[in-house]
A and B are shown apart, each in its own frame.
Chain A
Amino acid sequence: MTTREFRELFPILMRKVYGKSLVYFDNAATSQRPRSVVDKWVRISQESNANIYRAVHKLSAEATDAYEQAREAARAFINAGSREEIIFTSGCTAAINTVAYSFGQAFVKAGDTVIVGEGEHHSNLVPWQLLCERTGASLQILPIDDKGHWDLSVLKGLLAEGKYGADAEGASQRVKLVAVTHISNVLGLVNPVEAVIRLCHAAGVPVLVDGAQGIVHERVDVQAMDCDFYAFSGHKVYAATGTGVLYGKKRWLEQMPPFLSGGEMVGTVTLSHADFAGLPHKFEAGTGNFAAIATFPEAFETALLAREPEIATSYEAVCSYLEDALRARGDVRLYGDTGNPAGQAVLTGEASPAAYRRAGVFSFTIDGVHHEDAAQVLDKMGIAVRSGLMCAEPVIRHFGVSGMLRASLAPYNTMEEAESFIKCLDKAINLLR
């Protein structure tokens, strides 16, 4: 399949805005949906709409089947060991909050430590801040350097001080969990999460990976990665909105209390007490967003199509053209440095790899031009980009700016679009100076 053909799967990409062809470069915020996903979403609503799990009738059986097929699709997509480890949520944020609450409830006490990355989206920062406020635990930061690379020596230091993970009792200072992002929504670099996981596991500390962007750009195998939790949203990876997945290792999920309660997540209920259903239902209180979740098989199939060599190669060419064109402008500062001028993939597997890869996310500032002005003018040229703090204020502040512009691509974006973007950027800059 060619990029052209792949692109044609997405009806919205044919539309015009302000009479101009749409150039959609805000894929890190949400991807577009292929026709197959929209059709499934509608079909469940039109033909099989009934509450899942609860009834014996035909429609309920169909809706429940579709829901469970979606669970199997998610399991296969990230190669989880079992369906019990796939919890459906409303999104990545809800998935992370579930862990912050439930894991926190089970394991985090005053005097403990939780470590988060400096480059996190607010969704993987604020839940941990609140957990620490609630429990009296302390929040420590895994810092990034000016390239946007993690300083793993700091992590080693923190782990050496703490030494004990969630299993440890009685230690004076305990690192209970490390929560880091697979790919930052600002810097777009593929972080060496495997190295972090190895270091943490050597100290007995579990790791949550925020995979909101990682799931889009990387082949995720949670067993090979060996993360303890992996959280992502459906809407960034072609699925319907209001969907998400929390993958968790069974041994942790079993020890965690439910986050929300009610609905089908219970076992036996008396007026004074309830015991809980098994995994994954224990963490799925209330009626799930079943028509939207049902789009997972089609969405993940689309993601796999995009990874076929012909499309992947042309996507890489588009991305490296964009990186070169932005770097060629003396007045543009691109953030997140692969540390590898040739742009080659060099993940060495060492604790602190010298070079990172960039995954289709380009955040930059333009000397003398406010990011919001540029985004506004580009919009009128038919180009959709993000501007501002991008829900990741600490990382924006790290680079000493008040906001950035972000062009984030998907495999359906073409070279013509990238070239048009660079031309329009040039025009916008001239207008705004």
Chain B
Amino acid sequence: MTIAQKQEELVEAFSEFDEWLDKYEYLIEMGKALPSFPEEKKTDERLIKGCQSRVWLDAQTVDGKVVFSADSDAIITRGIIAMLIDVYSNRTPEEILQADDRFIDQIGLRENLSPTRQNGLLSMMQTIRQLAETAARTQA
């Protein structure tokens, strides 16, 4: 499945729910399904700046693909990063850098977060792109 296909699938999944509380619940379930993140990786370097709740993001390159792992001390934030990982992890750096993030607005996520969390979401996307750029550079 391409990034675009994955994004479409998510937009559809969220559109099944009328109430935002149910959409949060769906996000929370994604967060709960996120593989556990080792405590020793929760370092300041992996902390995403600009989030009020703490979010750690790590990237490894495996067979030319960027594999993300993450955690957060807040469960909705954990759901958000889980969703982003679902979309962008295990892709080549080029795929990640060429993809857009319009699906976030299509889901309506941004407008249903507090302003601080909107900033946090922005920082998460930026960090994902930066890590993909770093991966691209080290491969070249």
Contacts and interface: CB of A to CB of B under 8 A. Distances in A.
Contacts of A403: 52
B114 A372 contact: yes
A154 B117 CA distance: 40
A303 interface: no
A369 B74 CA distance: 7
23 contacts: A369-B75, A370-B73, A370-B77, A372-B53, A372-B74, A372-B76, A372-B114, A373-B53, A373-B75, A376-B24, A376-B76, A376-B114, A380-B20, A380-B21, A380-B112, A381-B21, A388-B52, A402-B54, A402-B73, A431-B24, A432-B28, A432-B75, A432-B76
Name which of B25, B53, B74, B117 has the most chain A CB atoms within 10 A of its CB.
Answer: B74
Interface string A280-310: 0000000000000000000000000000000
A381 B54 CA distance: 25
Contacts of A376: 24, 76, 113-114, 117
Contacts of A379: 114
Contacts of B75: 369-370, 373, 432
B25 A431 contact: yes
Contacts of A380: 19-21, 24, 112
Interface size class of A (residues with CB under 8 A): 10 to 19
B20 A18 contact: yes
A377 B25 CA distance: 10
Given A372-B114, A375-B114, A431 B21 contact: yes
B71 to A, nearest CB: 12
Contacts of B116: 372, 388
A375 B115 CA distance: 13
A377 B73 CA distance: 16
Contacts of B24: 376-377, 380, 431
Contacts of A388: 52, 116
Interface string A372-390: 1101110111000000100
Interface in A22-67: none
Contacts of A381: 21
A370 B19 CA distance: 22
Interface in A367-414: 369-370, 372-373, 375-377, 379-381, 388, 402-403
Given A388-B52, A431-B28, A372 B21 contact: no
Name which of A369, A379, A380, A381 has the most chain B CB atoms within 10 A of its CB.
Answer: A380
A291 B79 CA distance: 47
Interface string A325-345: 000000000000000000000
